[in-house]
Structure 1
Amino acid sequence: MAKYSDEFKLMIVKEYLGGPLGYSLLSRKYGIPDGSIIKKWVNAYKAFGKEGLSKKRSKKVYTVQFKLNVLNFMKQTGASYQETAIEFQMNEPSLIAKWNITFIKEGIEGLKEKTKGRPSMSGKRKPKQSKQEKVISREEQLEHENELLRLENAYLKKLKAFQDNPNAYLEKHKQRWHLNSKKKDLN
């Protein structure tokens, strides 16, 4: 949809109100795709004056309660989107239509304000589930305990071998290290 200046809208509205031409003839005369656009401008001008024709520069945020009140009014009175917008001093009937569709699909949750864009990279990370909270079976606990005991036993054996003869222990491990490094070089 093309953007029209406020002066252009005002000129067309005044021509409609003061002259014999209807919505469709004015739309053809000025190259506007549809007469309903002019009808919207005329209704906005009648309800809000010159301010009704200007596009709002900042986004107004409506509360969930306000949205529900608007939809409830429209349902109870049978008013159109345009009439409801005028009643609640809004300039965008299409916004009410959007709320109505969202309410039908998602209920009240859909009317709540949603955050836009990517989430911030704040230092607040989701806490990882601690090991205590993780539920493990008795069998898994016993297997874990066995593994810890095996590791402790192997460590104590190596420590005893090192204390008994440190030079022999170091020579043995140097040879292993050299063999492992040669294997890596061959790959």
Structure 2
Amino acid sequence: MTKYSEKFKLMLVKEYQKGKLGYKLLAEKYGMKDSTPIKRWVKVYEKFGAEGLMSKNHKETYSTQFKLDVLRYMERTGSSEMDTAIQFGITSHSTIGPWKKAYLEGGPEALDKSKGRSSMSDEAKNKKRKKPLEEAEMTYEQKLERENELLRLEVEYLKKLRAFQMDPEGYLEEHKQRYHSNSEKPSN
């Protein structure tokens, strides 16, 4: 995957917004194999401004509940990863794919696992100590409701996965209209 500079991304977004060229023609003009990145940059720019196009030097950390909310929204609405990311203020849509994979493979608990080796700083130790206290503050009923919601979400995903595995083409045809976004401008 080619990395593009922030300056280049912004230049293409501005050129697209002038309305003279669509996504495909812009991609051709600048020797890009695909126009998808341009579409993504335009959406990100419209939602977050130029700052959304900037590379992040640090990875953002999201709570397990936030990840579940994102996946639940995606499942409920049929939104693409890109549209969901923009809806939730996530500037990189590629963040969501690993969450979905982890959830499908390991359930809600898999979303709680952080990547890499954890730091043993005092701050990290304190966070580990505080976590059980936060869970203890939840009432028994709240814990049951949360577990119930997680199980309901898991069942929904498994049903969709099974339907897709049994008949991928039929499933995609049936849900095709959900995945097509309407562009206001022509793509040529």
Normalization by structure 1: what TM-score?
A: 0.59
Distance between the aligned counterparts of 2:82 and 2:115, measured in 1?
A: 28
SS of the equivalent of 1:21 reads coil
Q: Percent identity?
A: 46
Structure 1 residue ranges, 4+ long, deviating more than 4 angstroms after superposition: 117-120
2:108 is aligned with 1:97: no
What is the aligned partner in structure 2 of residue 49 from structure 1? 49
Distance between the aligned counterparts of 1:81 and 1:20, measured in 2?
A: 28
What is the aligned partner in structure 1 of residue 65 from structure 2? 65
The more displaced of 79-88 and 47-56 is 79-88
Determine which structure has greater relative contact order: mean sequence separation of CA pairs < 8 Å that are 6+ residues apart, divided by chain length: 2
The one-letter code sitting in structure 2 at the alignment partner of 1:9 is K
For residues 47 and 21 of structure 1, do their structure 2 counterparts lie closer, same or farther at Cα, with a shift above 3 Å needed? same
Distance between the aligned counterparts of 2:40 and 2:76, measured in 1?
A: 23
The one-letter code sitting in structure 2 at the alignment partner of 1:94 is S
SS of the equivalent of 1:31 reads coil
SS of the equivalent of 2:49 reads helix
SS of the equivalent of 1:20 reads coil
The one-letter code sitting in structure 2 at the alignment partner of 1:83 is D
Distance between the aligned counterparts of 1:71 and 1:118, measured in 2?
A: 25
Unpaired segments ≥5 residues, structure 1 = 121-187
What is the aligned partner in structure 2 of residue 25 from structure 1? 25
The one-letter code sitting in structure 2 at the alignment partner of 1:47 is K
Q: Deviations over 1:112-140 (max 9, x none)?
A: 233514999xxxxxxxxxxxxxxxxxxxx
Structure with higher Rg: it is 1
What is the aligned partner in structure 1 of residue 76 from structure 2? 76
Normalization by structure 2: what TM-score?
A: 0.59
